[in-house]
Structure 1
Amino acid sequence: MISTIYEFLEIIGTVAFAVSGTVVGMNHRLDIFGIVSMAVVTAVGGGIIRDLFIGVIPPSTLQSPFYIIVSIIASVLTMIIAVATKKRRASLSRLKITQFYNFVLILSDAIGLGIFTIVGIDSGIAKGYEHNLFLIVFLGVVTGVGGGMIRDLFANQVPMIFRENIYAVSCIIGGVIYALLLPYLNHYLTMLICIICIVTIRLVSEKQKLNLPHIEY
């Protein structure tokens, strides 16, 4: 049962991150190969970095390319939908189109963050590090934000986690809550609380334009 739920969550997270990578690729007017590549690195990049930290070599994603295939399919379907709705979008203002794509990007990114933070923490626990809170939360954060960092670097921009909104911090908060509640609550309930926490913080920070302080120099 646990494995089935995990596979389902990982598929949802993979699709969500692949969609966000695809949207960034289309916004930067990449070709089809570039867009698909952006989707794949966004979806599996964080997991690859996590596996390298915990000594899984080759990374599990490369041993079994199932999630790479899922991300490619999600990217292609997103592009098809974008092309199919092109005429309909032509009647909308550029501002509304931009707002829609930004909403899709933020929502899919938030869902991916929540799910992959859990996956990263549980990967650390499975390796026997359940008593090392710092390490397992770190693995959760890396899994959650790693793909987005690679995506932003590919798009030639400073990674989002370093410049705007409560991004990585939402993973840290949700990850700590998850790790602390896990021994006391039902596993499914703890996963749900963590995902809701991360997604809510991410969306609220975007909606209210909340940022960590900047240093003017």
Structure 2
Amino acid sequence: MRKQWLVIFLSFISLGLFAQNQAFFSLKDLLTRKGDTIGAVRVEKRSKNQIMMTSGGDYKLTSSDNYNTLNKQIRKRFYAVQMNDGKLYLNCRKLRFEKFRFGTYYAAAMEIGGKIYFCASPVGAAATSITHAKNYNLGALGKAIACSSLVSERVYYEITPSSKIYFVGKDKMRLLLKNEPELLSQYLSANSECAEIVGHYLEILKNKTSSR
């Protein structure tokens, strides 16, 4: 009987060790999985109005226990946080694309083949690529409408091990899916660079990679 309880006890310990939130201080730490275990973290999906007011990522991460030191680290020091359910979030404060800032707060991300892919607002060339159909002929009003619509738009970016960030548009997707002709054909027929479509195929690639 004691042995049975011991097995159950050790099982709970094992689950606790492998189901804890992890914080990473750099891209290298994230890719090598050299993270620090942290306390409970609350993930809040930010509203469109909140993003319009302060820009930045879609998610706000805070200490579930309102631990001020942890909150400060979440805001300013952590590069990424991986939750005990496997979901990964990158600190937008640490990210730049073509010298453009993504703002603060966190963005949802995933790892595929040693590279990180995260979902964020279109900036720089990414914004230009997806707004080619926006109407700028209305002068200041047209620009305001287009910029406002970008608050709701999301695209994917790729981070290489050398910290370079690339927009995951059609050209990048052609490279990522070059060995998956059926998936590539499906993606090209969708004719979209938005996060909803691109993310769907990235998830498929992620599952294929992890199963190998």
Greater strand content: 2
TM-score by length of 1: 0.30
Higher Cα Rg, which structure: 2
Greater helix content: 1
TM-score by length of 2: 0.30
Of structures 1 and 2, the one scoring higher in RCO (CA 8 A, sep 6+) is: 1
